């Protein structure tokens, strides 16, 4: 069966596909976490922010499920709990080193693991 599609539909589909593809590539190649001046900075494509390390109360390692803000690429990462109710899911490449650097700044951080 041959279906007629007008040029506008093709152009519209091309534009949407290009925008979605660009966003996915931006997320893939621009997701990073840095520790500077007692602040954890995160960036994942157009999404970015910072958390004062002194406000971090718990790091939940080997987290696989999470509902909420997730500037991460991996499925197995860290849930950072800070302030009273705030949480964010991140997935640094070197988890152990990342945890060590955070606990150097704030030794009061509690580290838990979901590993069976």
Q: Is 38 helix (H, G, I), strand (E, B) or coil?
A: coil
Asked whether the beta carbons of 73 and 27 are under 8 A apart, the reply is yes
Q: Which residues on adjacent β-strands are paired with residue 32?
A: 43
Query: How far apart are alpha carbons 65 and 68 in whole angstroms?
Result: 10
Task: Say how far residue 104 (Cα) sits from the centre of its chain.
Answer: 22
pLDDT averaged over every residue in the chain: 85
Task: Say how far residue 13 (Cα) sits from the centre of its chain.
Answer: 28
Q: How many CB atoms lie within 10 A of CB 49?
A: 12
pLDDT in tens, 42-54: 998 888 999 999 9
Query: How far apart are alpha carbons 76 and 54 in whole angstroms?
Result: 24
Q: Which residues on adjacent β-strands are paired with residue 90?
A: 78
Band (pLDDT 50/70/90 cuts) for residue 2 is low
pLDDT in tens, 44-90: 888 899 999 999 999 999 877 666 667 776 777 889 999 988 999 89
- CA-CA-CA-CA torsion for 46, 25, 62, 34, nearest 10 degrees? -50
């Amino acid at each position: 069966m041959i279906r007629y599609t007008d040029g506008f539909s093709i152009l519209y589909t091309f534009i949407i596909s290009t925008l979605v593809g660009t966003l996915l590539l931006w997320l893939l190649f621009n997701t990073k976490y840095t520790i500077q001046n007692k602040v954890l900075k995160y960036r994942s494509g157009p999404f970015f922010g910072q958390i004062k390390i002194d406000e971090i109360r718990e790091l939940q390692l080997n987290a696989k499920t999470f509902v909420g803000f997730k500037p991460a690429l991996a499925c197995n990462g860290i849930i950072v709990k800070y302030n009273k109710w705030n949480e964010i899911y991140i997935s640094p490449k070197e988890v152990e080193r990342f945890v060590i650097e955070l606990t150097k700044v704030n030794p009061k951080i509690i580290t838990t693991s979901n590993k069976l």
